[in-house]
Structure 1
């Protein structure tokens, strides 16, 4: 299952437990781009917590796969 795989891979890379707070996806095509941005919130900057220093983005890419099937574009 992709979710469990991503959690295990991420834990191994950062050598720590991980918490995924948000999950979203963006579908791009052609020469699409996304402007640089972050998801730092006021709580992340509370002195002593400094959560912003521990926030990361995980980006992964999926192959379009078999488009010559009954339900192309459906990720199972």
Structure 2
């Protein structure tokens, strides 16, 4: 997660309430940064208006979201 990009929209909380919280500066923070990506976390990442949520595969480091540009 790139917290410097976060604008505090709260979309991540809506889609994955157990995965994120907003701090006092209204920036999102992952509750468990090294968790398995499930459908709710992917929806949270896709809904982020500034693509601040990055999901990678732990085994390979391959980007799941945002997709790599070709």
TM-score (normalised: structure 1) = 0.24
- The structure carrying a bigger strand percent of its residues is 2
**Which is bigger in relative contact order (C-alpha 8 A, separation at least 6)?**
2
* Larger Rg, first or second structure (1 or 2): 1
- The structure carrying a bigger helix percent of its residues is 1
